[in-house]
Chain A
Amino acid sequence: MNNKRRKFLKMAGATVLAGMGAPVLVKLHGTAQASADSEPAPAHAADSHGGGHGHGEEQNAGIRLGMVIDMRKFYDDEALLDEAIAACHLAHNVPDIDERKSEIKWIWKTGYGNAFPDHSHNRRSGSVENSAFPVLCNHCDNPSCVKACPTKATFVMEKNGIVSMDYHRCIGCRFCMAACPYGARSFNWQDPRPFITVYNPEFPGRNRGVVEKCNFCSERLGKGLEPACVEACAGTGAIVFGDLNDPESEISKVLHEEFTIQRRPAAGTRPSVFYIV
């Protein structure tokens, strides 16, 4: 009896020691493996986090379509902005719903404080304070909506960097709407058709239960046309559209010459839409 008890205590002690020692062993093994893996890691980290250059500086390679909106052209001419919005919504069969909760917008007007909360302060110039700013999908380089989408219904087009949507795949979960820091996405709470007055027969509509947003006029670019909003402002230079990665493009020249701001740069999404304020 005594002998049995002695044996049991010995075994229990050994087990406790082994149990306490195991995590240390696992940890040692883990760090050894991590240091073996660490060689290719820095390159990858630099790739995905902008290499420590700070947000908004790194641009993905290839064609990256972007837009510069020159607010100086819109300060005295809100009608021009209305035309641009109308042209976009007409081209894409965007319904005109007069209710905040269910409205659909691809490009719309908002105040400076809402468009640029990071740049906001209480001593703004009159033109900034009193003008409507056009806002739209920023076609980010690092889009949070794409990461949130569970079905890959929204994705970055490799060819041109446009953040695109495949309405066929959208299941209407609205994760992308929660993920987008710009509120650039609208959800179809109802069948949008009754709210469309003029049809563009060359573009489809949407149905109830999908999210929609600006597509940078992919369908017009395919035909060699400029985006509808850019075309509506033609001749004024209010909106410049082009390849951000081409140093010879007009947009690159404008960005080189002028000081521009982006919407919510701290969100780290690296927007492709720039504003001259």
Chain B
Amino acid sequence: MFNKSLILGGLAVFVLLVTTPFWYGLLKAGPPPTPEPPPNGASVCVAPVEYMRSSHMKLLDVWRDEVIREAKRETIVVNDPKLGTLEFGKGLQLACMDCHSNKEQFCDSCHEYVSARPDCWTCHMTPAEIASKEAL
């Protein structure tokens, strides 16, 4: 092969350039964030923590379809060792934000890390947003 070193060297540079975004992401990402625990001290969620971590978006979709399309609005009861019996309606504003009242510290910390941009909050209101106006 003619110009062996030049070709191989060029190829190496090319591959490095093409994979730059991955190297950049790896270096930039830093350690994964730890979302803030519920400020009200609750330690039990509506589903096991592992499931909530991986699949909370699926649960929210199920809730949405049940509530809006099938009018299944039965509440979810959780027994918390510290706070006693908690009863939630299905929904971001009715359930999640009751305990995870700080959207910026809880939702955003992970979503930003993984570049997920859910559009929940264009319609649903965070506790901070509600507090910014007179509430019913």
Contact B64 A200 (CB under 8 A): no
Contact B134 A222 (CB under 8 A): no
Count chain A residues whose beta carbon lies closer than 8 angstroms to a beta carbon of B.
31
Contact B135 A204 (CB under 8 A): no
Query: Bound state CA distance, A191 and B121, in angstroms?
Result: 12
> Do A201 and B69 form a contact, CB below 8 Å, given A206-B123, A207-B123?
no
B-contacting residues, A220-265, CB 8 Å = 221-223
Contact B93 A201 (CB under 8 A): yes
- For residue B49, CB closer than 8 A to chain A, the reply is no
A-contacting residues, B54-110, CB 8 Å = 64, 67-71, 73, 89, 91-94
- Please report the number of residue pairs spanning A and B whose Cβ atoms sit closer than 8 angstroms: 68
- For residue A77, CB closer than 8 A to chain B, the reply is no
B-contacting residues, A145-176, CB 8 Å = 155, 157, 159-160, 162, 164, 166-168
Q: Which residues of A contact B64 (CB under 8 A)?
A: 166, 168
Contact B70 A164 (CB under 8 A): no
- For residue B130, CB closer than 8 A to chain A, the reply is yes
Count chain B residues whose beta carbon lies closer than 8 angstroms to a beta carbon of A.
24
> A: which residues have CB within 8 A of B?
90-91, 155, 157, 159-160, 162, 164, 166-168, 191, 193, 196-208, 218-219, 221-223
> B: which residues have CB within 8 A of A?
64, 67-71, 73, 89, 91-94, 119, 122-125, 127, 129-130, 133-136
A-B contact pairs, 7 of them (CB 8 A): A90-B136, A198-B136, A200-B135, A202-B136, A204-B125, A206-B123, A207-B119
